Amino acid sequence: MFPIMHAATLPYRPDIDGLRALAVLGVLVYHAFPAALPGGFAGVDLFFVISGYLITGILARSLREGTFSLADFYARRVRRLFPALIVVLLAAMALGAVIQLPGDYARLGRNVSAGAAFVANLALGRETGYFTGVAESNPLLHLWSLGIEEQFYLAWPLILWAAFRLRRFRGGVLWTLVLLSLGYSAYLVDADRNWAFYSPFSRFWELGAGGLLALASMDGGSRPRRLSRAWGLRRLRGPSSIAGVALIGLSFVWLRPGGWFPGFGALPAVLGALLLLGCGPDAWLNRHLLRRRLLVWIGLISYPLYLWHWPILAFANTALTDVPPRYWSWMHAAGLALSLLLAWLTYRYVESPVRQRPIRRRAIIGLGAAMACTAVLGLWLWHAQGVPARIAPSVRPLVAANLLDGPWRRGIGEGSCHNQVYAGSLAGPDQGCFPAGHPSVLLWGDSSAAALSAGLRPLQGPRGFVLWQATTDATAPLFDDSRRNNMQRTLSSINDTVLQQLRDTPPDVVLLHAFWPKAADSPDALLAQLGRTRDIIRSAWPHARVVVLGPLPFWRFSLQQNILNYSVRHGKAPAGFMRFGLLPNAFEYDRAMAAGAQRLGLAYLSAVDLMCNPQEGCLARLGPAAGDLTYVDGLHLSAAGARYLAERLLDGSGAEILGQ
């Protein structure tokens, strides 16, 4: 049996469970209804502060009383974290076997292993931004926060142990570490925002701030006299609790993905949590809000609730791609209700029985072995490439292939003409992105335009034109100073570079294309930006003909996922044209852009008209093989899809595009 820290316990404070409830509710509402609480993701920052406060309090007492034991500490962490996490990881693998594509299921296996080893943040930091669209379909994305916590607790007990031996310099050492972490986080927000979110050291300061508060409260009791003296009179605890809730509410409403977060942008949420923890359980708002029975109950189940909610929402989004957007809110509300039920069942029948038993070596070893087996199973799924054999033979060839492969990337000009603007010169070393000849057609836009280039390029000789390509990821051909691409460059800065580098060699035709629904907040805003683009192009290239290619129809998640979902519903593969999983945005923007382009004096071509028909939907595949699918994901054309659209553009409206 492990040694136990007999005196190293803290008095139970129900208001802390109430604060946990605020934290988890912020995250849940943000994930289910992001427009309702755009900064709710800061709930995780509250969890960090609470965790740092409670765990540091326990560690500090054990160090002061001489009962400190690393073995005991980690045994308690295993007993606290492993049972519910193992259940959720196993459930995720079971659901993924029914719902996910082979490639996604293989990634799930890898993420299971990373989550089981508490390094999910390190794995995700290399591949997925928390706020990107891809993240929406990752059922274990939320495990990044567990990785941050456990990496913190690998170092923090040893740091505290050393700091207690220093005594005289204890505060200075710990404050220095916390401030260095905050500075590093602020630096990374500009240098590498994705890593700023997932880096353990950029989040160290949030847990450390809770720890410093716990150390400042060590004079005993639940009312920290030292903090009371620092803040003034005892009566200030009431206003402090109100200020704490106000700062948390401000964070939940004001924060947005981007900006200064998670550096200085996380300070209001962290300070709010510190105020609520520091003012004690008897402060006015702590008594009248945080100690409410419902909030305390939600706080008690907050850990399994956090674990369950995101897999439920992510799997529902992936499996129910045919649900119309008007019902998404209901679907997400049902997902949260199910998460609440599963969280209570997990707390009642998994967490509580384990935590109420004495800490025995055999039980800890058993939990460790179960977690190791879970990680191994995840690695096997990754190694088995998502077990394609589980997919019905009728659709397996269509959904098992990786379409975002090297040939497709080379076809869109990745490494040559696509994203060439970042190389400093659009022309590049012998890339052939702007060949000589007339008429020259400049394809200008984002990655959707780059995908179309794979279809236009082979038709240059037969159709008598030369193709120029100036495409950049997430960069519509608009001169908008307020929007930034995935490299945090404004659209104006990228497109000004294109214009300047081709100023002396203007094209004959400018073909503008992008994922238009993402390029502006509304069709009217987009048309206003297109009017500005028209004026700038005409000023720079007076003789160039400007043509706008409207939005492509696009799908909820990937086309392959929709084909799999259709086959599960109907027991067969869909036909060539399909409306299952189509989103309405492209059709709305197409109608508005067709009418608006006429007012702006711009030639307009409808990709929707060329790819869809009212009776059957939009073109999903040209044949039985994976290479016949028209999209490689939900919105980028495959080589086959690009060739299909390019041929119809040049057949039906080729004279208009070429200005003949």
Tokens of 205: 């300061």
For the ranges 145-154, 157-166, 204-213, which has the lowest average pLDDT?
157-166
What would the pLDDT profile of 81-115 be if each residue is shown by its tens digit? 999 999 999 999 999 999 999 999 999 999 999 99
Is the pLDDT confidence value at 562 over 90? yes
Question: How far is 93 from 622, CA to CA, in rounded Å?
Answer: 33
Domain ranges of the chain: 14-390, 404-554+584-610+645-658
Compute φ and ψ for 477, nearest 5 degrees.
-75, 65
* Residues 6+ away with beta carbon under 8 Å from 66: none
Q: What pLDDT sits at residue 260?
A: 83
Question: How far is 521 from 59, CA to CA, in rounded Å?
Answer: 50
CATH architecture of the domain with residue range 404-554+584-610+645-658: 3-Layer(aba) Sandwich (3.40)
Residue bearing tokens 């609790």? 241
Q: What pLDDT sits at residue 209?
A: 95
Helix (H, G, I), strand (E, B) or coil at 197: helix
If you compute the radius of gyration of the chain from its CA atoms, what whole number of angstroms results? 28
Q: What pLDDT sits at residue 128?
A: 55
Higher pLDDT, 493 or 260: 493
What would the pLDDT profile of 424-481 be if each residue is shown by its tens digit? 766 554 457 898 888 999 999 999 999 999 999 999 988 889 999 999 999 999 999 8
Exposure string for 110-122, b = 16+ CB within 10 A, e = fewer: bbbbbbbbbbbbb
Q: How confident is the model at residue 235 (pLDDT cuts 50, 70, 90)?
A: low
- Mean per-residue pLDDT for 502-522? 93
- Mean per-residue pLDDT for 21-39? 95
Is the pLDDT confidence value at 227 over 80? no
For the ranges 55-69, 166-180, 595-609, 625-639, which has the lowest average pLDDT?
166-180
Compute φ and ψ for 433, nearest 5 degrees.
-80, -20
What would the pLDDT profile of 265-295 be if each residue is shown by its tens digit? 999 999 999 999 998 888 889 998 999 999 9
Conformation bin of residue 309: beta by default, left when phi > 0, alpha when psi is -120 to 50: alpha
Is the pLDDT confidence value at 318 over 70? yes
CB 498 within 8 A of CB 470: yes
Q: What pLDDT sits at residue 476?
A: 95
